[in-house]
Amino acid sequence: MTDPETEKPGIRRPRINPHRERIVLAHGGGGQLTADLLREVVFPRFTNEWLDVADDSALLPTDGPIAFTTDAYVVQPIEFPGGDIGRLSVCGTVNDLAVAGADPKWLSLALILEEGLAIPTLERILDSAAAAAREADVAIVCGDTKVVPRGEVDEIYVTTSGVGTLRAGRELGFRRVRPGDAVLISGTIGDHGLAVMLQRQSDRSIRSELSSDVAPLSSLVADLLDAVPGVAFLRDPTRGGLAGVVADLAEGTGCRVTLDETRIPVRKETRYAAEMLGLDPLTVANEGKVVAVVRGDEADRARTALREHPLGRDAEVIGRIGPERDGTAELVTEVGGVRIVVRPYGEELPRIC
């Protein structure tokens, strides 16, 4: 990026050494190298009216109630088929706001960098985060950068926080769910977690075209809310997967939730990879899907609204909220049996997001 000030006669402003291709501890020290890193590598990618002020806080205009969320991202590897930690950190926080019934507006982005991280790698991650922010129509308005000694983090960790404006009159949550409601999923499950797991195979013994589904869901959710008045509950099935959301739904409402295994969309590649790794696709993380509960008589309308969006083409009605008040979640299997759906005991796939 050209800095006009450095071109003025008599002005010599220190710049990042063009021969230094890696992060050093001094980049996180708050001095000249920090300023150079921010000015030349970070700020140009996220320029907007709030960030360009370069103050300690972003002053944001709001009118009415807001939603606020935060999340940390430690995915390994930091680049994987279909995405990377930069795209993931933006989409994950945008999606948490969207499923709360908010229109995402502003994000913060904090970086913890490992000494020795290649600056071209950092630039790719930041470019990806910036592209995801444009895709989601949000602005990254503030942030922070720290550098720690080699070995104390794994290349790069990212924390993003987000603010969104709540839609008037659109309350969502467990207490809005009632017997007779339908459960939908916006597309195939398990793609993200298994794409990352396969990328970790150092010997690449399992080869697959599987790609992460990481994407910002804000426009998909907005279309659904605009088209279907009877949306009662939304959740993105990240860690814990679809099983975790359904178990939470049963526990939070006190109702029985029944899923139909034959209706749950799973890619062939995903199913094969899950079988090879001994995993259940229901418990694998997703980063571009939404689970919706809607009034039963609006199920078809909701599925149509989802399928009309590029991110919802494989949407299906996959279950229902039953009249039983036992707080259990169950899956009717392909062969007609029934099994209880529970949350994974721990983290089956560590560092998946």
Q: How far apart are CA 9 and CA 274, in angstroms?
A: 63
* CATH fold for the domain made of 4-166: 60s Ribosomal Protein L30; Chain: A; (3.30.1330)
Judging by DSSP bridges, how do beta strands 329-332 and 257-260 pair with one another? parallel
For tokens 């890193």, the residue is 37
DSSP per position, 20-36: --B--GGGGSSSHHHHH
303-321 pLDDT tens trace: 999 999 999 999 999 999 9
Least confident segment among 59-63, 289-293, 295-299, 325-329: 59-63
| Cβ burial 223-234 (10 Å sphere, 16+ → b, else e) | bbbeebebbbbb
Residues 6+ apart with CB under 8 A from 31: none
Mean pLDDT of 1-8: 40
82-105 pLDDT tens trace: 999 999 999 999 999 999 999 999
140-154 pLDDT tens trace: 999 999 999 999 999
Question: What is the model's pLDDT at position 62?
Answer: 87
C-beta neighbour count of 272 within 10 angstroms: 15
Q: Give start-end residues of each CATH 3.30.1330.10 domain in the chain.
A: 4-166
Q: How far apart are CA 127 and CA 80, in angstroms?
A: 15
Q: Are 245 and 223 in contact (CB under 8 A)?
A: no
Mean pLDDT of 317-328: 97
**289's tokens:** 């899907």
Mean pLDDT of 65-75: 96
Q: How far apart are CA 25 and CA 114, in angstroms?
A: 8
Angle at 110 between CA 104 and CA 82, to 5 degrees: 65
Backbone φ, ψ for residue 246 (5° rounding): -65, -40
Question: What rounded mean pLDDT belongs to the chain?
Answer: 92
Q: Are 332 and 338 in contact (CB under 8 A)?
A: yes
Task: Report the C-alpha dihedral over residues 73, 311, 262, 257, rounded to 10 degrees.
Answer: 60
Name the strand (E) or helix (H) holding 147. strand 139-148
In eight-state DSSP terms, residue 65 is -
Closest CA to 111 of 98, 93, 129: 129
Closest CA to 306 of 323, 296, 294: 294
Question: What is the model's pLDDT at position 30?
Answer: 86
Helix 218-227 to helix 85-98 angle (10° resolution) is 20
Q: Are 158 and 110 in contact (CB under 8 A)?
A: yes
Closest CA to 217 of 138, 320, 294, 143: 138
236-286 pLDDT tens trace: 999 999 999 999 999 999 999 999 999 999 999 999 999 988 999 999 999
37-66 pLDDT tens trace: 999 999 999 999 999 998 889 999 988 899
DSSP per position, 205-232: -S-----------HHHHHHHHHH-TTEE
Closest CA to 231 of 308, 310, 188, 292: 292
Q: Give start-end residues of each CATH 3.90.650.10 domain in the chain.
A: 174-340
Q: How far apart are CA 74 and CA 30, in angstroms?
A: 24
7-23 pLDDT tens trace: 444 444 445 554 478 99
Question: What is the model's pLDDT at position 344?
Answer: 83
In three-state secondary structure terms, 180 is coil
Region 174-340: CATH code = 3.90.650.10
In three-state secondary structure terms, 66 is strand
For tokens 């969309």, the residue is 265
Q: Are 204 and 75 in contact (CB under 8 A)?
A: no
